[in-house]
A and B are shown apart, each in its own frame.
Chain A
Amino acid sequence: MLYATPVGAVVLTMIVGAIIFSIIGYNGLAAVYEMFIAPLALSYKWSAIAVKASPLILIGVGLAVGNRAAIWNIGAEGQYIAGALAGTGIGLVTQDMTGVWILPSMILAGLVGGAVWGAIPAWLKTQFNVNETLSSLMLTYVAIHLMNEMVTGPWKDRTGYSYPQTPIVKPDQMLPIIIPHTSIHLGVLITLIIALVMWFVMSRSLFGFQVRVVGSAPSAARHAGFSYKTTVWLVFILSGALAGLAGIFEVTGPFRQMALGFPQNYGFTAIIVAFLGRLNPLGVIIAGIVMAITYVGGDLAQSALQMPNASKGIFQAMVLFFLLASDILVRYRVRFIRRAPVVAPSVVRSPAE
């Protein structure tokens, strides 16, 4: 049941999605086809799926750790932007330099940028007991405005006409393409390696155990000497760093720069990815691919059916709705029982009385 329900959730989403879109006045079957099937049917879209799955998996793996501990980082979008900004900063400083050290230092800056942005809610939580859901989300808006300021102001490409965007990254600042004639870059491979490492960490290490105990049995965690505060810090720094890494991978990979349209909601969709993947890094890989299909499919549906791009959110949210609804089948055994006949209370007395 645990692993059957995600599949069922996706199937139900397709069925109900077709109905909803038909009601709104679109061709519902065509919408579902463009959203879920077309990206798979068109082989030249496969590398696009892999490239879009990469940030979703990277962020999703980090969020899965936090959710295991019942620590809610919903500001991954902000940490993704912060990582991209930090890495871009290094990129601008090293614009006129050459060397193999440049790309790694940008990536490192991305990791640190995301981790620092993620550490703020951790600090607020451990120091002032601020609800981490709200603080991490507020920081996402702060990050978006910070990014807007940088790309329209000091970091704006002076040669880029009047578009608010940073200069295109230099060859030494680009992630190499690892499969020729596709857009699949080194970041995709690193993402897969990190997901596998995280699977090992979560299932085989003390840290993974600590996170699970803190989440499922807080008082047992206290008895075992697992500090809640330390867990909050670790979870936020880890998930922030991975989100930041995803951000700088996008800058040095597919985007090649930062612009107003840089945020792609990966940080929010990754929350769905984490749940759909059952908070298991291996499951997150599959879930990331499924959600990446809706990204590619959303673009296809936009051009084929003139559906607004944001409508892919309807499908993404429905997947999560159905998954959460079906969780009751995982946690409980549903029995259909005939309601017992009502008996006057005076006749029946429980033994305790």
Chain B
Amino acid sequence: MSIDYLIAILITVVGASTPILLAGLGELVAEKSGVLNLGVEGMMLVGAIAGFATVDLTGSPWLAVVVAAAAGAAVSMIFAVLTLTLSSNQVATGLALTIFGTGLSALVGKPFTGRGIKAFTTLFPDWLANDRFGRAIFSYSPLVYFSFIMVGVVWWFLNRTRPGLILRAVGENDLSAHSIGYSVIGVRYAAVAFGGAMAGIGGAAFPLILTPLWAEGLTGGRGWIAIALVVFAGWRPLRLLAGAYLFGLLSTLELYAKASGSIYTAILPSEAWAALPYIATIVVLAVISASKAGAGNAPQCLGKPFVASG
């Protein structure tokens, strides 16, 4: 295996990991505030079509990211109103959001089916981005660097800032936070909106990084992987980064198995490679959940509706 081949694999892994990392970070913040939003897949798809359509119509991938974030946050508000204001069941509402987003993106995306878009140009000068070794660091989409920055930002926000502390307090003990005078519902609205925006950007990363063609349901269940990653990470941003790259690697193996065949399919049929990220997720969840540290990290109020009384 040559070094060029390894760098090519690395670039594919980074691309495959970025969407789930972005969406996972958003879900992590929402869950830290005590909200379990299973609508990530739907919000990603809405972000994906919003981003795709924006590039197609305006030619600006930068604007596409903003629009995708806004679209993701907008649909997440359906979930927020239902679960937070009307205290509906979070599991059922999240599922409905995923079904809704899947349908909406298919409908809005129909005129774009099969059309291609131009993605970001590289941030760095060509002599760096096209260099044999430099491309391993400098050739990526701005969204990749953004995802790394956001890992740091989320970590810093949750662990080093006062609003982050309040957000965690709301997720750990909503009644206490409420009685001290913090707005539990307000904090959760903000966290859900952030989760929606990040899922929207994560969805837009599909057309902007991976496949510059529109296809119905192009996220292919990655939103659910993002939710599983949050559990895998024990609700910690840095471990989420590691998890996202582990699963990015696994899904890259699938791509290589389909493309190059023989070597991989001699070991496992290509559909088994495709199923591997999901099987690995289950195995990892089992290992994490069985350990005391893993399960004990869940925010105490995760998934529980909060009704202010008095």
Contact = CB atoms under 8 A, between A and B. Distances in A.
Interface in B19-38: 38
A317 B91 contact: no
A19 B112 CA distance: 22
Interface string A119-149: 0000010011111011101110110011011
Interface of A: 24, 72, 74, 124, 127-131, 133-135, 137-139, 141-142, 145-146, 148-149, 152-153, 268-269, 271-272, 275, 306-318, 320-321, 324-325, 327-328
Contact of B224 (A134, A148, A320): A134
Contacts of A142: 275, 278-279, 282
Contact of A135 (B99, B216, B282): B282
Q: Is the interface of A mostly helix, strand, loop or mixed?
A: helix
A9 to B, nearest CB: 11
A128 B91 contact: no
Given A129-B290, A135-B282, A310-B216, A324 B221 contact: no
A134 B224 CA distance: 7
B88 A327 contact: yes
Contacts of B78: 321
Contacts of A309: 106
Contacts of A310: 102-103, 106-107, 216-217
Nearest to B99: A317
B115 interface: no
B106 A128 contact: no
Contacts of A146: 271, 275
Contacts of A268: 95, 99
Interface string B81-99: 1100011110111011101
Interface residues of B, number: 45
B228 interface: yes
Contacts of B92: 271, 275, 320, 324
A134 B107 contact: no
A130 B95 contact: no
Given A74-B91, A128-B290, 19 more contacts: A127-B286, A134-B227, A134-B281, A138-B224, A141-B275, A145-B271, A146-B271, A146-B275, A152-B271, A268-B95, A311-B103, A313-B100, A313-B106, A320-B92, A320-B99, A324-B96, A325-B81, A325-B82, A328-B86
A316 B42 CA distance: 14
B103 A313 contact: yes
Contacts of A312: 103
Contact of B96 (A141, A145, A272, A327): A272
A308 B96 contact: no
A124 B281 CA distance: 12
Contact of B274 (A139, A145, A272, A316): A145
A328 B87 contact: yes
A134 B102 contact: no
Interface in B275-296: 275, 278-279, 281-282, 285-287, 289-290, 295
B284 to A, nearest CB: 10
A138 B282 CA distance: 7
A129 B221 contact: no
Contacts of B228: 134, 138
Nearest to A26: B107
Contacts of A129: 289-290, 295
B221 A141 contact: yes
Nearest to A74: B95
A316 B271 contact: no
A142 B92 CA distance: 23
Nearest to A265: B99
A317 B295 contact: no
B123 interface: no
A139 B224 CA distance: 12
A129 B289 CA distance: 6
B88 A324 contact: yes
Nearest to A154: B269
Nearest to A313: B103
B301 to A, nearest CB: 16
